[in-house]
């Protein structure tokens, strides 16, 4: 697994909700970009900087944009802004809104009648 800090130029026409910096862990850069696309949608803003395997040992809250703490960077998924603080989630569960109470977590059985994640492009990422 590889960690990346992805810096975006969000000054253009990009929708609200895109952070200027995303911390993400995946199999490689393409996998990380797919996780980000599935989470925030397309089009992806232009990237201004890519930092592969950033050193997080000196991280202090408030030293990155938005001033938030980090999530867990060893799990596949987005760890900054912190979204994966309760466990790794598949990309289709990483959404811009909070998880409603009682929804399923990664590894849970998903009844076919309720949701068909297999048809989602993000489910294969």
Question: CA angle, corner 84, sides to 65 and 51, nearest 5?
Answer: 45
Least confident of 44-48, 52-56, 87-91, 102-106: 102-106
**Res. 33: pLDDT tops 50:** yes
**Res. 7: pLDDT tops 60:** yes
Taking the C-alpha atoms of residue 20 and residue 8, their distance in angstroms, rounded to an integer, is 5
The pTM assigned to this predicted structure is: 0.63
Q: What is the mean pLDDT of residues 85-92?
A: 61
The pLDDT score that the predictor gives to residue 114 is: 30
Residues 6+ apart with CB under 8 A from 9: 45, 46, 47, 48
C-alpha dihedral over 10, 12, 14, 17, to 10 degrees?
40
């Amino acid at each position: 697994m590889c960690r990346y800090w992805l810096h975006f130029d969000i000054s253009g026409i990009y929708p609200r909700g895109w952070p200027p910096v995303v911390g993400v862990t995946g199999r490689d850069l393409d996998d990380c970009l797919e996780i980000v696309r599935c989470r925030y949608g397309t089009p992806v803003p232009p990237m201004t900087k890519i930092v592969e395997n950033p050193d997080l040992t000196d991280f202090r809250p408030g030293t990155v944009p938005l001033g938030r703490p980090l999530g867990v960077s060893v799990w596949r998924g987005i760890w900054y802004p912190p979204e994966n603080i309760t466990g790794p989630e598949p990309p289709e569960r990483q959404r811009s809104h909070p998880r409603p109470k009682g929804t399923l977590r990664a590894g849970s059985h998903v009844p076919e009648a309720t949701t068909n994640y297999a048809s989602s492009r993000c489910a294969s990422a």
